[in-house]
Amino acid sequence: MDSGVTAMETILVLLHTESDGALARSALETLGLARTLGMPFSVGLAGADVKAAADSIAACGATRFLGVAGVEFAQSRYGTDAAAAEALARAADATVILGPATSRWNRVMPGVAHRLGGRADTHATGVGLAEGKLRVTRWYYRQRMEAVIERTHRPWAILVEGGCGEALTGAAGTASVDMIAVDAHSRTEVEGLQSPKTGQQTIRPDADLLFVTGAGWSKNQADGKPRVEEAEKLILGFLDATQASLGSSKSLVDLSGEGQAVLGFLTHLNQIGQTGATPRHRKGLATCCHGEEPHVVGWRFVTERRAVNLDANCGWARGKADVVYVADAFEVMAQVNALLP
């Protein structure tokens, strides 16, 4: 990569509101990261109405608040999102644009950077200063290699993954927002939204707890028979009560292709590990999973790890988990669910 520069940057923290007009946790984490750089920064907000969001972070330390608002910016569309982001970046005269790596910004920021004549890096896991230069860290090859990136080209758009920093808190107040007029013409009209019922959603990136299921749930149990229906009830009951996010090992996800009984609510989207996702939940609980390296690599950013396994010599017990419960997961989860409200 080209080497960094030591000049003071003009930083814009670019955020968008959620459907309720508030800011997501990932947006607050990006704000917290911007504060650690020790440089002045502005905040740019896009959404149907940005005043409430601006007031919620009024005391964040920003030198200026910019906004693009209107019903046209309530929904995510490439045309309107790109126009809003470009207008905010130009109004701030930004040399560095920091934003959360949401699906909304990940889709448009590379194109916005091109319009601005700049560069973009997505899926960053850290931004900091070293030797007076701005440096970005990013993982490659399924989180097995970490790169440190510097650039001289400006403007530089950087999108930071959620869970990589502390979220800003206690910054509410009254903010003065400079509104920017943007042509919101789009050939696409949003007629409505269709989404699964809350009970059907098992992947929750903002959850404190990651609950991971392994192939042992669908194997023959002590009585010589699989107990898949019972497993589904125990797991879904725990998820409903705790609102935890559900993950799975590759072996359990792949069983469906081998003609074996599987948990009906699992898909490849739930897969954690080298060929799956790398979530950033604060806590993780693995059940009926051996803790082999291809799976555990997906736990790299999980702070506190616990596991339930009948094998006292499993991978989790070899320094990969903080606590290992040597017990039957069916019995453990049945008792846990009984204790939950």
pLDDT at 49: 96
Residue 145, strand partner residues? 140
Local confidence band at 258 (pLDDT 50, 70, 90 cut-offs): low
Topology of the domain covering 198-339: Rossmann fold (3.40.50)
Domain ranges of the chain: 11-179, 198-339
234-255 confidence digits (pLDDT tens): 999 999 999 999 999 887 766 6
Q: Is the pLDDT of residue 1 over 50?
A: no
Do the domains at 11-179 and 198-339 have one common CATH topology? yes
Q: Is the pLDDT of residue 136 over 60?
A: yes
Local confidence band at 199 (pLDDT 50, 70, 90 cut-offs): low
- Specify the CATH number of the domain 11-179: 3.40.50.620
User: How distant, in Å, are the alpha carbons of 64, 83, 117, 181 from that of 178?
Assistant: 8, 17, 24, 10
Local confidence band at 27 (pLDDT 50, 70, 90 cut-offs): very high
Local confidence band at 266 (pLDDT 50, 70, 90 cut-offs): confident
Q: Is the pLDDT of residue 57 over 70?
A: yes
Cα distance between residue 174 and residue 202, in whole Å: 37
pLDDT at 111: 97
140-155 confidence digits (pLDDT tens): 876 678 899 999 999 9
Give kind and range of the element (H or E) at residue 254: helix 250-254
**What is the bridge-based pairing of β-strands 245-248 and 145-149?**
unpaired
Task: Give me the mean pLDDT over the 98-117 stretch.
Answer: 96
Cα distance between residue 210 and residue 197, in whole Å: 20
Model's pTM, two decimal places? 0.74
pLDDT at 206: 84
- Per-residue b or e along 328-337, where b marks 16 or more CB atoms closer than 10 Å to that residue's CB: bbbeebeebb
Name the percent of the chain lying above pLDDT 70.
93
Task: Give me the mean pLDDT over the 220-236 stretch.
Answer: 90
